[in-house]
Amino acid sequence: MTYSGNTSMTSLSKDETNFLRLAHLIIRISPRAVRTRFNHHFNPGGLHIVLNREKSKIDKLLYKRILSQSQMNVLFSSSGMVKSEDMDITLMICLLRNIAKLKILDVLPSSFDISEEADLSRIKYYRNDFAHATEGTIDDKTFTNIWNDVSEAVTRLGGKLLKDECDSLLVGELDWSYRDVYLEHICKEERLEEVEEKLKKLELKISEYTRGRIMMCRKDVW
């Protein structure tokens, strides 16, 4: 879709603008902060070596449905090449948690805890919370609280460059691309959920078929 004339989103309410600023912070900026720490714990040049060494652990994550098949395809591509730039925030957090053994929580940490693990937990928490947002608006008080929590975590994890981006995003004028970033993200999330649901149904059918074959074989033996 194209837009002519002034591309600024002047028709948006303040609450809608708050929502889109946070969307951009969480969807576009915070993953780069996580990636900075990911590359610290997993040397990019030897990432494929680590993944191959930990393959049995990663297979268990797939079996437990902590990882999806599409994520496995990213980690173990046919080319044999893997880099953090190909990973989304969910996959990086999963590997930091299960392979690097960082204590990343599912709940929001105390505001007094500004450790690396707490900051990664904050970003994970708000990312998951935001992925299921349906309103498209955030009031000023809620916006300020979440913005400060996430942007400060991003700064501690990613450094001055990302801090400058956060500062610019906070005061900059929004255009239609910010809305498009959010819509693209939501569509991707919905597609992934749809694929995962289909895979679960397929796995269930295979499991039921396998159980049926085992029972038939047992009857033949008996």
pLDDT tens digits, one per residue of 1-45: 232 334 455 577 888 888 889 988 998 899 999 999 999 999 999
pLDDT tens digits, one per residue of 11-20: 778 888 888 8
| 111 contacts 149 by C-beta, under 8 angstroms | yes
Residue 216 has pLDDT above 60, yes or no: no
pLDDT tens digits, one per residue of 145-191: 999 999 999 999 999 999 999 999 999 887 656 566 555 655 555 44
pLDDT given at position 185: 54
pTM confidence score: 0.77
pLDDT given at position 19: 87
pLDDT tens digits, one per residue of 188-207: 554 445 444 544 554 455 45
CA distance 160 to 150: 15
Q: Which amino acid is at 39?
A: N
CA distance 48 to 155: 28
Q: Which residue has the higher pLDDT, 132 or 46?
A: 46
Start-end of H helices in the chain: 14-24, 30-41, 47-53, 55-63, 69-75, 89-98, 116-131, 140-158, 160-171, 176-221
Q: Which residue has the higher pLDDT, 71 or 182?
A: 71
Cα–Cα nearest to 23, from 185, 155, 176, 152: 185
Structure tokens at 89: 């925030």
